Chains A and B, each alone.
Chain A
Amino acid sequence: MGITRRQFFGWMGAAVGSQAAFASQAKAAATNHFTGHPGSFGVLHDISRCIGCRKCEAACNQVNKLPAPEIPFDDRAVLGQIRRPRAEAYTVVNQFKPKNKPAAVFVKTQCNHCLEPACVSACFVKALTKSKTGAVVYDASLCVGCRYCMIACPFDIPAYEYDNPFTPEITKCTLCQPRIEKNQRPGCVDACPQEALTFGAREDLIKIAGQRIDKYPDRYEKHIYGEHEMGGCNWLYIANAPFTDLNMREDLGITPAPALTSGALAAVPVVVSLWVVFINGLRAISKRKEQIAEEEKIQAVNAAVETEKGRFNLEIKQIKEKARTEKEAAVEKEVKKALEAAAQTLNEIKPAQTTEPVKNAETLLPEKQENT
């Protein structure tokens, strides 16, 4: 193949350039520990203070203009079964009865607004974004409705309007982003009569949570849920019971979701670059093999022709030789015959008077027949 030096360097430059562009991204995801946008907001949920009054649910319903529920918010009967956030309710309060606790424990569930959210990294149209305020914001005008964000969320938060045939949307807590922008606190925080919800800067909330745990070590579990889970969340929890007993998974690890797929994404440009080389290489190898096979065939044919030619020449030579010797023999014989014939005629002429030569001729006859 004809490649000019200029072409070669051009290709190399393009390859290295694209690698650098992708590699820097992958590295950024892998090594930098992102601790949240500075000053971003969050909510600390002190589970030990929650009494399960569901006023936060009612406030959320009102603020987000959601449809009125079948069972009113002051009916505590719904606490009988575990619920999850859904299209009509961005937040729910569940009741748990841990083994060694005399009283029920209530937990409010909603979007945790992760620092590096799985849903954001999963969205293939950037319909979900992480705002500088801390909120994970959803833009319905871009959403295709693939629901990979719902698959991706380790907390099972995003819900979908399955019964809406034309404009279904993903639904989830917005951290009341529109209210935050107006310097208001989220609806649920304002509605809580127990101060079980504290709104503020995430850094401050971590401090407050730590202070409460330090002050009442017997009351609280020594774990601020959301500080490190999945790389950290803007929504934090402290509790008077093990989180696992409250349906909050403690096995999620501290790896932020984007890091889970950054390796696979980083492999893309490498595969593209190397596959071009490998595929063309393989093709070149199989082509070369064909070429070599072809050359070998031609060589073999030539060699065969040569040997055949040699054998042919040898045979011709031998045949010629044979023909020559035969010819000579024949000539000799003919000469001999002629001589004999001449001798016979001589004999016939010389003693024509005697009968002896006739006898001679008779004895000669069978010999002649054998020769022929």
Chain B
Amino acid sequence: MEHPAPAPPASAIRQNTVFTPFNIISGTIIIIGCVLTVLRFTKGIGAMTNLNDTNPWGIWIGFDLLCGVALAAGGYVTCAACYIFGFKHFRCAVRPAVLTAFLGYGLVVFALSYDVGRPWRLPYPIFLSQGTSSILFEVALCVFLYLNVLMLEFSPAAFEWLNWKYARYIIGKVSMVLVIFGIILSTLHQSSLGALFLLVPSKVHPLWLSGYLPVYFFISSIFAGMSMVIFEHSLVERFLHHKLDLEHEVESNNVAMGFAKSAAFLMMGYIMIQLIGIAMDNDWKYLFTRWGLWYLVEIVGFVGLPAILFAIGFREQNIKLIQMAAWWTVLGIVLNRLNISLIAFNWQLPLAQRYFPSWMEIMTTLFIVTIGVVAFKIIVTLMPVLYAHPDFPDDH
């Protein structure tokens, strides 16, 4: 396997200056984020957010936690496809997906340290006082364990970069155990994030609340993960193309095709179980209200349509269409998680008592996402993620 070809001259010239558009924008966001961080930890949550006693969770939970975890599902989905279902050509997608998942979960915990009142106590539920009756305890335990699993799953890339051959050899021996453990943990906490809202049937709109919420969250996390892998690859292809080796470049399109086909099926299945949920609780009457319209926008517009696009994209082997459908699906997942946690939450309350994020909350979220993008860029530049390491050609 050849080392990636040197960057084309145009970008080489640009690399001479640190003031690239990417660096300027991300640098500005990070500087603002640091200021906001100081504000958060000196003045408190109240000084920055629009959270109040009736709306205790905002976008730091609705987006950073719920969407962050769902969109980091690519890690376990790709591992399962490659190592459990035996699609060996998905191997090249494993490392980028695991890296995204690792960064995603790391940032979820990072974001939580802004949201919870006393973040230095975040280890309490695991080490000090286990509230086993709480779904949130299950989430905390799984996220904690899975973050460790992801770190180990990604460590081979770091070991290859550091050329720690023995550590690389040892971790290779337990990789299958990590994969299986990771899938179990992901199943549990992806679904548990939905189960969190089973506790509040009086606050979530009936169209979004169902006994099947854990199943909805789990199934949607699978196609969210697939879409993220496709979407992320489209970005990598565009902005980090010089880092891709031939295998990754060729196989990534096959991965996108495979994921597009399975996502199309899964999303149709997801719509079916959504309908079953409505039938089960006899919520049909709500479909003809304004909330019903909004629900249909989510289900038809952001699940049904991208599913059809995936199917057409696969039939016509149109990678551009598939990438568009993936981006659309990602938006749909964000919409779904925000609907359940914020928009359809406290739906009976008058508008004056509803929550809308402050600019500082939005900026903090943007700051955290930016950290993720910058970290991804740095790591794939340093470590063998998008190409096979010449010294470890077949060890992926």
Interface residues of A (CB under 8 A from B): 84-87, 118, 120-127, 142-148, 150-152, 154, 156, 158-169, 249, 251-253, 257-258, 260-261, 263-265, 267-268, 271-272, 275-276, 279-280, 282-283, 286-287, 289-290
Q: Which 10 A-B pairs have the closest CB atoms?
A: A145-B117, A286-B86, A162-B46, A165-B44, A147-B56, A264-B195, A124-B137, A168-B117, A150-B56, A163-B46
B326 to chain A minimum Cβ distance, whole angstroms, is 25
Complex CA–CA separation, A147 to B202 (angstroms): 17
- Asked whether A165 lies within 8 Å of B42 as measured between CB atoms, the reply is yes
Q: B10 an interface residue at 8 Å Cβ cutoff?
A: no
Nearest residue, chain B, Cβ from A253: B201
Q: A205 CA to B37 CA in the complex, in Å?
A: 51
* B125 and A125 within 8 A (CB): yes
Measured CB to CB, the closest approach of chain A to B52, in angstroms, equals 7
Beta-carbon nearest neighbor of B47 in chain A: A163
Is B29 on the interface with A (CB-CB < 8 A)? no
What is the size category of the interface that chain B forms with chain A? 35 or more
Q: Which residues of B contact A160 (CB under 8 A)?
A: 53, 56, 117
Q: List 17 A-B contacts (CB under 8 A).
A: A121-B133, A122-B135, A125-B125, A125-B131, A126-B131, A145-B118, A154-B202, A162-B51, A162-B52, A163-B45, A165-B47, A168-B117, A260-B201, A265-B133, A265-B138, A279-B183, A290-B86
A357 to chain B, nearest CB (A): 83
**Which of B41, B51, B53, B196 is the one whose CB lies under 8 Å from A84?**
B53
Say yes or no: A124-B131 contact (C-beta < 8 A), given A146-B136, A265-B138, A279-B180.
Answer: yes
**Pick from B46, B86, B188, B202: contact of A271, CB under 8 Å:** B188
Q: B116 within 8 Å of A by Cβ?
A: yes
Determine if A151 and B44 form an interchain contact, defined as CB atoms under 8 angstroms apart: no
User: Does B376 have its Cβ within 8 Å of any Cβ on chain A?
Assistant: no
Residues in B neighbouring A290, C-beta threshold 8 A: 86
Q: Which of B51, B86, B140 contacts A124 (CB 8 A)?
A: B140
Chain B interface mostly: helix
Q: A121-B133, A280-B180, A286-B84 are in contact. Are A268 and B138 (CB under 8 A)?
A: yes
Measured between beta carbons, the chain A residues less than 8 angstroms from B184 are: 271-272, 275-276, 279
Query: What is the bound-complex CA distance between A275 and B179, given in angstroms?
Result: 12
Known: A123-B134, A280-B180; 18 extra A-B contacts, CB below 8 A, are A85-B53, A118-B199, A121-B134, A122-B199, A126-B130, A151-B57, A152-B200, A161-B117, A162-B52, A165-B40, A166-B118, A252-B202, A264-B135, A264-B191, A265-B133, A265-B138, A267-B191, A286-B84
Complex CA–CA separation, A163 to B117 (angstroms): 10
Residues of B within 8 A of A (CB): 40-47, 49, 51-54, 56-57, 80, 83-86, 115-119, 121-122, 124-125, 128-131, 133-138, 140, 180, 183-184, 187-188, 191-192, 195-196, 198-203, 211, 214
Q: Given A148-B196, A156-B53, A260-B198, is A122 in contact with B116 using a C-beta cutoff of 8 Å?
A: no
Q: How far is the CB of B79 from chain A (nearest CB, A)?
A: 11
Residue of B nearest to A149 (CB): B56
Least Cβ distance of B343 to chain A in Å?
15
Contacts A160-B53, A275-B184 hold; do A144 and B196 have CB atoms under 8 A apart? no
On chain B, the residues within 8 Å of A249 by CB distance are: 202
Partner of B124, one of A87, A125, A164, A275: A125
Give chain B residues whose Cβ lies under 8 Å from the Cβ of A282. 84-85
Residues on A with beta carbons closer than 8 Å to the beta carbon of B203: 151, 154
**Contact between A257 and B129 (Cβ–Cβ < 8 Å)?**
no
> Most chain-B CB neighbours within 10 Å: which of A143, A151, A290?
A151
Q: How far is the CB of B278 from chain A (nearest CB, A)?
A: 19
Residues from chain A with a CB closer than 8 A to the CB of B52 are: 162
> Whole-angstrom distance from the CB of B268 to the nearest CB of chain A?
22
* Closest chain B residue to A285, Cβ basis: B86
Partner of B49, one of A125, A154, A162: A162
CA A11 to CA B187, docked complex, whole Å: 22
> Which residues of A lie under 8 Å from residue B117 when comparing CB positions?
143-147, 160-161, 164, 168-169
